[in-house]
Amino acid sequence: MPLYIVPTPIGNLSDITFRAIDILKNSDIIFAEDTRTSKKLLNHYSINTKIESFHKYNEHFKLNSILKKLESKDKISVISDAGTPGISDPGFLLVRESLASGYEVFCLPGPTALIPAIIQSGFPTDRFVFEGFLPLKKGRKKRLEELANESRTIIIYESPYRVLKSLQQFIIYFDPNRKVSIVRELTKKFETQFRGTISQAIEFYKKNKPKGEFVICISSSKED
């Protein structure tokens, strides 16, 4: 049986596809990043499939057992807490090893925060670079220096605890007037968006404590 990578809503539970629900209901087992979080979604759609954890702290340990289940013809689905597994979430290693072992892998289309964030930003979408979460320490300075001259729209994920600190670092390497679009809590009840320059964003988040999950879009170095 193939391995199914199944995207799940990043906020609004209605953003799941009919096909995703069908795949999850008919799987022999679902591997989830956090079973407690995922059970809320599964219960909402009356999905009673067996569920086990699969996250960045146990993915190497679980890898062989999942491959054995695929060998036994089990229908396996993988989900993350929100969005598409493999995009800033566990999944890449399993996909790579499943393919190397001769198993098919199907990824369903579905929710991911980076696409709506860049479209809502108003920045060019024909060419962009997705950075996910930047390195916290080692390699961060070098990466920011490289991004300073990036000619494509940049997309970065950030936690509420580091938004202001990251913006203050950006201003060291980027033009203070470089445009940013910052969206928080995409698809959720309290979704908000900030548009302006890096300097303006710093002043805004000094006055408005960041809460929720953030996606930061930074304009091209060549954009006026």
Amino acid 223: pLDDT: 67
Residue 81, pLDDT score:
94
Q: Low-confidence residues of the chain, pLDDT below 50?
A: none
Other Cβ atoms closer than 10 A to 203: 12
Beta carbons of 42 and 30 less than 8 angstroms apart: yes
Give the pTM. 0.91
Residue 3 is encoded by which pair of tokens? Answer: 């391995």
**What tens digit of pLDDT does each residue of 7-16 get?**
999 999 999 9
Residue 131's pLDDT is: 96
Beta strands (DSSP E) in 88-203 are 105-107, 128-133, 153-158, 179-184, 192-197
Cβ-based burial of 153 (10 A; exposed 0-12, middle 13-18, buried ≥19): buried
**What is the model's pLDDT at position 1?**
82
